[in-house]
Amino acid sequence: MPELPEVETVRRGLQPVMENARITNVLQRRPDLRFPFPQRFCERLCGRSITALSRRAKYLLMHLDNSEVLVSHLGMSGSFRIDEGAATGNPGNFSLPRNKTEAHDHVVFFLTTEDGAKAKVTYNDPRRFGFMLLVAGDGLAEHRFFANLGIEPTGNALNGEMIATLFGGKKAPLKAALLDQRLIAGLGNIYVCEALWRAGLDPRRKAGTVAKSSAKAKAACDGLADAVRTVISDAIEAGGSSLRDYVHTDGQLGYFQHRFNVYDREGAPCARPGCKGTIGRIVQSGRSTFFCPSCQR
């Protein structure tokens, strides 16, 4: 599930507990996720303090006081769980999974928070498409996972002009271009579908066709840039507003209710006022695309 807004929600949820906390112990319950864990993973983290939590695209970045960065990607099914006031830093208590969920608790961070309280932060990931890396802070921008990342879909860098530049000459469908992390970094299948619906653009259209110099193409670029920015900021806002309740109920982070206009709504009436269309589903690059054939052109 985690696209950029979810990762940002996770970051905001973890921040009060992890920022300025000291890592007193780390339990790593298997040798790998998507990739092997870094060499001496636990030893390199134990005793370190976390100076800041940030995010780039869908990557969560935990900055350590030795200037290394713990990079975490949630893949398809990764999530963090917070147990505040955890009584012990002894990982032995958690070495055996007690239920189906705990079977996928792959990493547990034992922390002493800024105010001296104990806390436990657990990474759970059933499909194990997520991963964790340790990267030197000054080498992060050149790291292979970051060197080719495109612009953030938040903020002012993403405007119609930028879309035109990025998509110019591209024969790939708009859907594929928006999913391409080298162009815009952080969009996933859901928010691409939602943004294209908001912009009223057909996901099958060649990306290059919105990058022409005509007034109509310029309007399409402006509309698409606006749709991407607002769909992301709305989702972050929704995550933020549901975050408090969610953390208080069971500590789970990264999943929240969100209402979509097209995603997973095949057969439903189009929500656009005045549109009589029905949401359809097609497959592009092996992934489901939901859109309204009537108002997305």
Partner DNA sequence: AAGTGAACCTGAAGGC
Partner DNA sequence: TGCCTTCAGGTTCACT
Number of residues that bind DNA (CB under 7 A): 38
CA–CA separation, 295 vs 273, rounded Å? 10
Q: Min. distance of Cβ 21 from DNA in angstroms?
A: 26
**Which residue, 283, 76, 278, is CA-closest to 197?**
278
Q: Name the one range near DNA by CB under 7 A: 14-22, 155-163, 224-232, 280-288.
A: 280-288
CB under 8 A, 24+ apart: contacts of 150-153: 150/180, 150/181, 150/182, 150/183, 150/184, 150/185, 151/183, 151/184, 151/185, 152/56, 152/57, 152/184, 152/185, 152/186, 153/4, 153/184, 153/185, 153/186, 153/187, 153/228, 153/229, 153/232
- 12, 128, 205, 287: the catalytic one is 287
CA–CA separation, 280 vs 272, rounded Å? 14
Q: Min. distance of Cβ 213 from DNA in angstroms?
A: 19
293 given a catalytic annotation: no
- 48, 55, 56, 58: the catalytic one is 58
For position 135 contacting DNA by CB under 7 A, the verdict is no
Q: Name the one range near DNA by CB under 7 A: 108-116, 167-175, 212-220, 224-232.
A: 167-175
Q: Name the one range near DNA by CB under 7 A: 43-51, 75-83, 109-117, 240-248.
A: 75-83
For position 3 contacting DNA by CB under 7 A, the verdict is yes
CB-based contacts of 245, cutoff 8 Å, min separation 6: none
The single residue among 98, 100, 216, 259 that binds DNA, judged by CB under 7 A, is 100
Structure tokens that stand for 159 in this block = 């405007």
Task: Give the full edge-to-edge strand order of the sheet including 68-73.
Answer: 50-56, 59-64, 68-73, 131-136
The single residue among 12, 34, 44, 118 that binds DNA, judged by CB under 7 A, is 34
| Cβ nearer to DNA, comparing 160 with 186 | 186
For position 276 contacting DNA by CB under 7 A, the verdict is no
Residues at the interface with DNA (CB under 7 A): 1-3, 6, 34, 57-58, 73, 75-77, 100, 103-104, 126-129, 144-145, 170-173, 176, 179, 181, 188-190, 207, 255, 258, 284-288
